[in-house]
Amino acid sequence: MDRRRLGWAAAAIALAFCSVTCEAATPRITTHEIAGQVVGDHGPEAGVWVIAETRDLPTRYAKVVVTDDQGRFVLPQMPKARYDVWARGYGLVDSARTATRPGRRIVLKAITAPDEKAAAHYYPGMYWYAMLDIPKKEDFVAGSPGNQGMAPTMKLQSAWIDTVKNMCQSCHALGSQGIREMPALFRKNPDSRVGWAMRTQAGQAQPYMAVVLGSMGPEKALTLFADWTDRIAAGELPFDKPSRPVGVERNVVFTMWDWASPKHYQHDAISTDKRTPTLNADGLIYGSPEESTDLVPTLDPIRNVASTITHPYRDPKTPSSLDLAHGESAYWGMEQIWDGHTSIHNLIMDETKKVWFSARIRPEANPDFCKKGSSHPSAKVAPLATSVRQLSVYDPATRQWSLINTCFTTHHVYFGHDANNTLWSSSGGPQSGVVGWLNTKMYLETHDEEKSQGWTPLIIDTNGNGKRDEYVEADQPLDPAKDKRVMAAFYGIMPNPVDDTVWGQAMDRGFSRVDQPGYLVRVDPGSDPSNTALVEIYQPPEGTFGPRGLDIGLDGKVWTALSSGEVASFDRSLCKGPLNGPTTAEGKQCPEGWKLYPLPGPQFKNLKEPGSANHAYYVWVDRFNTFGLGANVPIASTNGGEALVAIVDGKVVNLRMPYPLGFFTKNVDGRIDDPKAGWKGRGLWTTSGNRTTFHNEGGVNNYPKVYKVQMRPDPLAF
């Protein structure tokens, strides 16, 4: 008897049992739902996940829900197909898969994990990478025994943790099985440090990993990572355990579709205009594949069809991922799986459904109008010789591309709220020390890329006279008669919906001369931004550090995620002291504006400081209650916790996605498809953002996913 016939036989037995137990236990359903109950050795299993998956549709489709207090579940809005359904939960191993169709009820027999190792296999990655040793504070003192092998520039424990999270974990799911276990290819040498050296030279991410290792000190970093995987190989298990979902966490519904290719990863996805979440109802979802390919993935969530659009580039000499140095991969051998030129990092949709991309269209050298000696207003103030990534716009109505040559590097892009529909861009790195923008109204009318763009250096009003004056550079001492430049640039960026300011989040790498890994930046553009813009910088409170990602609610409150292990809000209206003048040069002037919400999960095992080993790549604010937890609710993409984490009325709501193991997303986007349909007409959209999806469950057969996340009023709603 083949596997599917066995599945149907199991389903028949379950249905017979269900006639006694589930008829009263589950609500009446239609032909569009699958319902049932998960029962273990000791009765109903509450707070476990039920997963249904099919390959009958044009692309692989799956849905995940959580059981209620009686172990009951309802899988809603199921397309007509045959599904394999199974249960997964903490303290369990996966149940047998039961084959069924919408309109039927089943009972799933939960299987208790035979030992702690089997149970820990299903824990979020952070429970595993929290076992990683972090150097002690005294190890960062030059000449100390623990400082051996560490980079001379690595002077603070906070900077080490920030690097592990913001530079390592933000691209690779550290605690996933593919990372915590050393592949056979890299175990050939008995010294695990050699294996880790080989691993960090494998694949086309080698140059990026080399930069990070260099910033930490390769000898020190490789020794600690090798010790971590050696201890796990010897049988050491996580020292803490996760709890099953409770309360509203059980109301979540995850729906997922395969898109793109197992060889290509995705950075972001977009479904609508953040300012008008009813735009593009039921329309295509678009993705950004960064270095991996020039093929922009799309998903039609109504017809369940995944496709691609080719992003062009302007210059045939545009760098390619095929140019990257690479070593042998444990998964792909010497095959170069990335072939992208356009490096599409982020994308956004405007009010006409045009999609704007942060994309590379040419080599780094800027045109003359960007450089010193140019008459361009911004170049007169801050000439720019190079940019790593520029802009493009795609019009779905005409299927036409426009490629826009920007002088400033682009990274994350978001629209303002002004008449010019200004598109503001972060740059991702501090070297340029500017923030740039595009007047999209002017560009679409004239296609004059030179006149439509501008940028400004970041200048603090340190002389306190309320206007921008001559300034000293970032590496120069304060001058009481002058202002001061901050040589940094935004990673996260967001125009404030309640005024004309723009906020950014900078990750310091020594350029700003601020001795703290990261801060928030407020830009007041003024009447002539290139010449009048002034900034304020704000460091997180003492003991916290490492902001990453940024968004702002309709209440003007700024949200970010900290690599010290918290989601944080900043309310400038609470500031008591002066916000300009010489005392504001370091950004320590408003600790009272911050509020901290520790992320769920354990702290690194040898750290006593508060916080969590958990980490979020970005944070998104649900301004219009598109999800159902309320307006202005921040939602953090915790790629360590493999979850979306919301802060609701000061409390943490942890929405874990358990399948495939290694859920890793970099941002979310909310859309309302039908305002009259309640929870069924709205939801969040995101994509798997791990650069190496093949490290996760499914291996080389694991595709990037599009996820739709919905919040029901209760676990049995349909």
Residues 114 and 133 grouped into a single domain: no
Q: Report helix, strand or coil for 689.
A: coil
Residue 187 belongs to some domain of the structure:
yes
Vertex 166, ends 213 and 241: CA angle to 5°?
105
**Would you give the distance in Å from CA 320 to the centre of its chain?**
24
Residues 129 and 222 grouped into a single domain: yes
**Would you give the distance in Å from CA 632 to the centre of its chain?**
19
Residues 21 and 104 grouped into a single domain: yes
* Percent above pLDDT 90 for the chain: 89
Question: What pLDDT was estimated at residue 431?
Answer: 65
Residue 171 belongs to some domain of the structure:
yes
CA distance 634 to 646: 6
Element (H, E) at 399: none
Domain boundary pick from 211, 233, 255: 233
- pLDDT for residue 6 is more than 80: no
Q: Are 484 and 471 in contact (CB under 8 A)?
A: yes
Residues 97 and 135 grouped into a single domain: no
Residue 596 belongs to some domain of the structure:
no
Residues 134 and 111 grouped into a single domain: no
Which one-letter DSSP state was computed for residue 327? B
Question: What pLDDT was estimated at residue 32?
Answer: 97
Q: CB under 8 Å to 671, separation ≥6 — which residues?
A: 271, 272, 277, 278, 279, 280, 281, 626, 682, 683, 685
> What is the phi/psi pair of residue 465, to 5°?
-95, 5
Is 0.85 surpassed by the pTM of this model? Answer: yes
Domain boundary pick from 233, 267, 288: 233
CA distance 705 to 635: 19
**Band (510; pLDDT cuts 50, 70, 90):** very low
How do residues 126-173 score in pLDDT, each as one tens digit?
A: 999 999 999 999 999 999 999 999 999 999 999 999 999 988 888 888
User: What's the mean pLDDT when you consider all of the chain?
Assistant: 93
CA distance 530 to 641: 41
Residue 54 belongs to some domain of the structure:
yes
CA distance 290 to 272: 20
- pLDDT for residue 9 is more than 50: no
Question: What pLDDT was estimated at residue 28?
Answer: 81
Angle at which helices 218-233 and 192-199 pack, to 10 degrees?
A: 110
How do residues 265-309 score in pLDDT, each as one tens digit?
A: 999 999 999 999 999 999 999 999 999 999 999 999 999 999 999
Give the CA distances from residue 280 to residues 273, 413, 421, 607, in Å, rounded to whole numbers and listed in that order: 8, 19, 18, 47
Question: What pLDDT was estimated at residue 487?
Answer: 86
> What is the phi/psi pair of residue 670, to 5°?
-110, 140
Greatest pairwise CA separation for the chain in angstroms: 86
Domain that holds residue 114: 3-120
Residues 113 and 129 grouped into a single domain: no
Nearest to 598 by CA among 527, 658, 651, 674: 651
How do residues 633-648 score in pLDDT, each as one tens digit?
A: 999 999 999 999 999 9
Which one-letter DSSP state was computed for residue 602? P
Dig out the tokens for 68 from the structure: 């209620």
Torsion of CA 311, 312, 316, 318, to 10 degrees: -40
Residues 143 and 105 grouped into a single domain: no
Cα within 13 Å of Cα(220), Cβ side: 23
Task: Return the bridge partners of 275, or none.
Answer: none
Residues 108 and 201 grouped into a single domain: no
Question: What pLDDT was estimated at residue 18?
Answer: 46
Question: What pLDDT was estimated at residue 627?
Answer: 97
Residue 588 belongs to some domain of the structure:
no
Residue 279 belongs to some domain of the structure:
no
Residues 147 and 195 grouped into a single domain: yes
Residues 79 and 168 grouped into a single domain: no
> What is the phi/psi pair of residue 146, to 5°?
-75, -10
Which one-letter DSSP state was computed for residue 612? -
Lowest mean pLDDT among 201-205, 233-237, 550-554: 201-205
Residue in the block written with tokens 């609470």 = 574
Give the CA distances from residue 89 to residues 43, 47, 96, 576, 645, in Å, rounded to whole numbers and listed in that order: 14, 8, 13, 48, 19
Residues 194 and 221 grouped into a single domain: yes
Instruction: Give me the CATH number covering residue 111.
Output: 2.60.40.1120
Q: Are 328 and 199 in contact (CB under 8 A)?
A: no
- pLDDT for residue 54 is more than 70: yes
Question: What pLDDT was estimated at residue 11?
Answer: 41
Instruction: Report helix, strand and coil shares of the chain as percent, to nearest 5.
Output: 20, 30, 50
Q: Number of H helices and number of E strands within the chain?
A: 11, 40
Task: Return the bridge partners of 61, or none.
Answer: 54, 257
* Percent above pLDDT 70 for the chain: 95
**Residue that wins the pLDDT comparison between 169 and 85:** 85
What's the N-to-C CA distance of the chain in angstroms? 35
Residues 211 and 134 grouped into a single domain: yes
Residue in the block written with tokens 């007047």 = 439
Question: What pLDDT was estimated at residue 21?
Answer: 47
Dig out the tokens for 550 from the structure: 């940024």
Cα within 13 Å of Cα(230), Cβ side: 14
> What is the phi/psi pair of residue 168, to 5°?
-90, -60
Residue 675 belongs to some domain of the structure:
no
Burial of 53 (0-12, 13-18, 19+ CB in 10 A): middle
Vertex 708, ends 506 and 699: CA angle to 5°?
80
**Would you give the distance in Å from CA 34 to the centre of its chain?**
31
Q: Report helix, strand or coil for 675.
A: helix
CA distance 191 to 560: 40
Domain boundary pick from 212, 233, 254: 233
Could you tell me the sign of the dihedral formed by the alpha carbons of 145, 149, 152, 157, in that order?
negative
Angle at which helices 206-216 and 218-233 pack, to 10 degrees?
A: 100
- Provide the H-helix boundaries in 491-576: 529-532
Could you tell me the sign of the dihedral formed by the alpha carbons of 466, 469, 474, 477, in that order?
negative
Residue 209 belongs to some domain of the structure:
yes
How many separate domains does the chain show? Answer: 2
- pLDDT for residue 684 is more than 60: yes
Q: What does the pLDDT average to over 616-645?
A: 96
